[in-house]
Structure 1
Amino acid sequence: MKTKAVLVAAPASGQGKTTVACALARRFARAGQRVRAFKCGPDFLDPTWLALASAAPVDSLDLWINGEADCAQRLNDAAQAADLVVVEGVMGLYDGQPSAADLARRFGLPVLAVVDAGAMAGTFGAIVHGLRHWPGPGRDAQAAPAPLPWAGVLANRVGSARHAAMLAEALAPADAWRGALPRDAALALPERHLGLAAAAELPDALARLDAAADALARTALATLESLPDWPGPGSVAAPAAPPRLLAGRRIAIARDAAFAFIYPANLQVLQALGAELSFFSPLAGQALPPCDALWLPGGYPELHAARLAANDALRDQVAAHLALGRPLWAECGGMMALAETLVDGQGVAHRLWDLLPGTATLGRRIAALGPQALQIGGRQLRGHSFHWSSFESPLRPWAHTVPARVAVGRDAGGGGGGGGGGGEPVYQQGSLRASWFHPWFASAPEAAAQLFLPGVLA
């Protein structure tokens, strides 16, 4: 059987992309098909649902952060191993540079458009026509790129069978009506600040996905044969193995509800660099394992601030780790846990681990969002930032990341030893390195290795 594939996209966020992508993955995975799922753009939360639905790890795909070759390799591996590849888009189909539409065109991924049609009828056809035929930002019709690969359109949050019929009538035949999902609270996935709640936090997560898969089974997407064939991403050169710069080194990694934002691909890169990985849970009161380096990933320390603040034993162990000059990389929520003070969403100040001078404060809106780059050792490490919190510190940053729109084609990272303004600050105090920045290690494995090696970053 040929590999089937869809890229689930929408006109905007909040239309139901994650629900539909997960429903597709769950519908066919529970039927015994091999499913691989991806998330377009950097994200830690939607992949938890896609991983539960597909019963397989989920990687992110971003033409700038990953790079085209990395995206191609991951898609090629999936095409060789899976019956169905599901890629969930990000925001709206044409949002971002590069966008989900750019990814679809580059790799021939057929787009399944999901449109929240709960408050429209004939306008549904206009929206779908625009999604299919708009050339994209900054282009006119004469300079339009290749046609967008198309798998059809699925209406979401539809009120009745008559409503669905009106929506279908608004489409041109080539728009490929694929059916409708009803307006049903049971199909919604719960949200909080930063996005969806993680699937592991909800005892009924799988039941929610089963309900969505059952609803999808009543549409024209009920069978694997109804989905488009996909030949794969084309010729792909095998990536070179990175140098084993971390051979023989043990890296301890915090992993629980407070430190949950970890790309599976980043773990693979550390292992390819030669590192031995050991996981522990600060929330469970587990001790810091014997290690040569420590990683505190992002997550939700603000939701667990009181428990983290009370963990004096671990705080002392981390302090001893730093006193020995052993590296610690803390990103986003990990940096917040190291602060002197964390002010949570209710305005309550918690005395945290006091290993990085400053105060982290959870805000009421997004403080930063977008792809970023950091230069370490002459190599550009790419990634992103997304946080609602602020961090006020007397420390002078060692460097700043540079937004992608600035980093393309120039030195990205603000330089070493202090860096320029803009982007996200990167702090270095002894062997402690911390930032809001979430790096994608595969973009520059040698640079990523430096975060876990002793010595001063340069």
Structure 2
Amino acid sequence: MTDSSLLRHCPAMLISAPASGQGKTTVTAALAYHHRREGLKVRVFKTGPDFIDPQILAHACGQPVYQLDLWMMGEAHCRELLYRAASEAEVILIEGVMGLYDGDSSSADLAQALAVPVATVIDAQGMAQTFAAVAFGLAHYRAGLPFAGVIANKVGSPGHAQWLAEALPSDMPLLAAMANDDAVGLPSRHLGLLQADEIGDLDQRLARAGELLNSLAPCRLPEPVAFAPIKTQAPPRLLAGKRIAVARDAAFSFIYQANLDCLQAMGAELRFFSPLTDQALPDADSVYLPGGYPELHLNALAENRAMKQALRTHHQAHKPIYAECGGFLLDSLTDKEGHSAPMAGLLQGQARMQSRLVNLGMQSLWLEQGEIRGHSFHHSQLETELEPALHSAPQRNRSQAEGFYRSGSLQASYLHLYFPFNPQAAAGLF
């Protein structure tokens, strides 16, 4: 039994919806921005292996955003992250993924496992009493699901908001009603929303969205949730004294904050650099190239010959390089319009962007230090005669295995690995 004095109580809710496209990210960001403007310390999490939405949410709450996923991370690690947040925050928001019950590890699964109540966002355009029927169905589809209430999106007027609130059962409150305004929508591309740094008026959009949350009905705080402490072992300091150069710019931004934390907890010193604009690598023992959008920056990457040579020199010195997705280390990369450009040439082959998704899903990889988990999500197709050193194991049958390639001190694949799942395996990459 947990000592009650160790419990941390913090208002919290998981924000889900009947489907994608209902406005979860906009509403979650608006709530974070609104409560932050009210003087509260807000912590936000994102369900599942998402890199882009967390950038928007981090901008809104002013704090790093961490992922929560029962399979990729494990329940104990999810609980540990929430307990840490509850120890310092005054509001915790968790953005769900897809529809409430969608996926092999759904938002409902996460909410039920962690005992965090669900608030469902429903696009209320053209709806009155049916709004309540949809909310009731979501709340009662699975027995025992903790349910906080409903958030109405794209509401037409104060009268419309009142109809929606009156239609709901007495035990299902309307937590917020966001007025319909195209100015708060978030632009997107093939992998999802634009990155936060690419939306020039993001602050204005978030401020406007925060105002709209309070314009039709009072915006309510969620009820406090009790979070219990979790005892976990600190990762071994296998990287003490090691310097890792981490690529981070508009082309290389798909990186878990938890991965950076894990490397630092193992003793590594992180030195960030930009393959787009820097002419040299930082003084480092190894290099980490996360995924991102290199296909959108073909010319800049191709023309930065000094950086490509710096990577070759690093590789020739037998220093570790670990690369995820992207394709910058291949001979060439081709975008969706058919434009090709020479890349660093450390790994034989080329990648071509496709009009459709090539692979998507959770993946498990067995390295010398044991299993490590992650996911793949890419529109590019690798063409190479190299044989993979290893293959990942997809969590679901509809996904494909990913090849894990090695060339000297270089290791690369389409996988986005979650380092805290197995810190020893992560240390072995560097």
Aligned residue pairs: how many?
A: 422
* Partner SS for 1:36: strand
User: Matched residues in 1 for 2:400 and 2:396: separation?
Assistant: 12
1:101-141 CA distance string (max 9 Å, x none): 11111222121100112244443233212210112xxxxxx
User: Matched residues in 2 for 1:2 and 1:433: separation?
Assistant: 43
Q: Is the 8 A contact 2:165 2:173 kept in 1?
A: no
Q: Is the 8 A contact 2:112 2:145 kept in 1?
A: yes
Aligned with residue 352 of structure 1, among 318, 343, 350: 343
CA 1:8 to 1:290, structure 2 compared with 1: closer, same or farther past 3 Å?
A: same
| 2:45 match | 38
Report the alpha carbon displacement of residue 161 of structure 1 after superposing the two structures with TM: 4.0
Structure 1 length normalisation: TM-score? 0.88
| 1:371 match | 362
| 2:284 match | 291
Report the alpha carbon displacement of residue 169 of structure 1 after superposing the two structures with TM: 4.5
| 2:269 match | 276
Aligned with residue 168 of structure 2, among 166, 171, 178: 171
Aligned with residue 210 of structure 1, among 187, 195, 207: 207
User: Matched residues in 2 for 1:228 and 1:220: separation?
Assistant: 18
* 1:228 equivalent in alignment to 2:223: yes
Aligned with residue 422 of structure 2, among 437, 444, 450: 444
Residue pairs, 1:326-341, within 5 angstroms:
326-333=319-326, 336-341=327-332
1:234-277 CA distance string (max 9 Å, x none): 3421x211221111111111110000111111011111111111
Q: Is the 8 A contact 2:405 2:413 kept in 1?
A: yes
| 2:196 match | 199
Letter in structure 2 aligned against 1:381:
I
Percent of pairs with identical residues: 49
1:312-331 CA distance string (max 9 Å, x none): 11111111111111111110
User: Matched residues in 2 for 1:217 and 1:164: separation?
Assistant: 11
* Partner SS for 1:72: helix
* Partner SS for 1:85: strand
User: Matched residues in 2 for 1:380 and 1:251: separation?
Assistant: 23
Report the alpha carbon displacement of residue 280 of structure 1 after superposing the two structures with TM: 0.7
CA 1:119 to 1:351, structure 2 compared with 1: closer, same or farther past 3 Å?
A: farther
* 1:156 equivalent in alignment to 2:160: no
Report the alpha carbon displacement of residue 387 of structure 1 after superposing the two structures with TM: 1.1
* 1:106 equivalent in alignment to 2:119: no
Larger CA deviation: 13-22 vs 374-383: 374-383
Report the alpha carbon displacement of residue 2 of structure 1 after superposing the two structures with TM: 4.8
Report the alpha carbon displacement of residue 164 of structure 1 after superposing the two structures with TM: 3.6
User: Matched residues in 2 for 1:241 and 1:376: separation?
Assistant: 21
* 1:65 equivalent in alignment to 2:91: no
Q: Is the 8 A contact 2:361 2:396 kept in 1?
A: no
* Partner SS for 2:46: strand
User: Matched residues in 2 for 1:384 and 1:120: separation?
Assistant: 37
Aligned with residue 394 of structure 1, among 385, 391, 404: 385
Aligned with residue 313 of structure 2, among 297, 320, 327: 320
Q: Is the 8 A contact 2:176 2:219 kept in 1?
A: no
Larger CA deviation: 200-209 vs 154-163: 154-163
Aligned with residue 380 of structure 1, among 371, 384, 392: 371
* 1:242 equivalent in alignment to 2:235: yes
Q: Is the 8 A contact 2:276 2:300 kept in 1?
A: yes
Q: Pairwise CA RMSD of aligned residues?
A: 1.8
User: Matched residues in 2 for 1:449 and 1:378: separation?
Assistant: 9
Report the alpha carbon displacement of residue 180 of structure 1 after superposing the two structures with TM: 2.4
* Partner SS for 2:70: coil
| 2:21 match | 14
Report the alpha carbon displacement of residue 175 of structure 1 after superposing the two structures with TM: 2.6
| 1:139 match | none
CA 1:221 to 1:265, structure 2 compared with 1: closer, same or farther past 3 Å?
A: farther
| 1:186 match | 183
Report the alpha carbon displacement of residue 183 of structure 1 after superposing the two structures with TM: 2.1
User: Matched residues in 2 for 1:385 and 1:365: separation?
Assistant: 14
1:172-201 CA distance string (max 9 Å, x none): 232322342222111111111111111112
User: Matched residues in 2 for 1:286 and 1:381: separation?
Assistant: 33
Unaligned segments of structure 2, at least 5 residues: 1-7
* Partner SS for 2:404: strand
Unaligned segments of structure 1, at least 5 residues: 136-143, 407-420, 453-458
CA 1:165 to 1:34, structure 2 compared with 1: closer, same or farther past 3 Å?
A: closer
1:6-64 CA distance string (max 9 Å, x none): 11100111110011111111111122211111001111111111111111111000011
Structure 2 length normalisation: TM-score? 0.94
Q: Is the 8 A contact 2:279 2:304 kept in 1?
A: no
Residue pairs, 1:128-147, within 5 angstroms:
128-135=135-142, 144=143, 147=144
Larger CA deviation: 28-37 vs 153-162: 153-162
1:361-384 CA distance string (max 9 Å, x none): 112222211111111124111111
Letter in structure 2 aligned against 1:353:
A
| 2:4 match | none
CA 1:76 to 1:432, structure 2 compared with 1: closer, same or farther past 3 Å?
A: same
